[in-house]
Structure 1
């Protein structure tokens, strides 16, 4: 899968879940500090990424999802 498509799909999940302005969902934006997510919303984002790409993300990898870029990177690391 093309990496820009993965990035766009992951970014769209985050924007939809948090209802944030797409301009704020930059790779270095903190999902909690910059975009206002709580721990439940972060867990929901991880589950939505799993559903979108039909993958399973380990708890260790899920804990690393702290920025938009990290969420994209986690998806790229997981094998289909």
Structure 2
């Protein structure tokens, strides 16, 4: 998945600014994602990519870069 496409999904789902979404940005600390927002984001990314994100993997993803790496390694 391209970073720009993922960034747009994150901005739409979490309601943050596009400038805040960097590979190093923490989902909770920098982007304000709580547990419900994380689930919504996961569902949006799964729908956009057709890739299923396991709950155990989701718990380990702390940054935008973690999610991008996961999606790209599970194409």
> What is the TM-score with the length of structure 2 in the denominator?
0.88
CA distance in 2, matches of 1:65, 1:44: 15
Matched, 1:72 2:68: yes
Write out the 4+ residue segments of structure 1 that deviate beyond 2 Å after TM superposition: none
CA distance in 2, matches of 1:59, 1:6: 22
**RMSD value, Cα:** 1.3
Gaps of 5+ in 1: none
- Aligned with residue 58 of structure 2, among 57, 62, 65: 62
Count of residue correspondences? 75
Specify the alignment match of 1:53 in structure 2: 49
Aligned partners of 1:15 and 1:21 also within 8 Å = yes
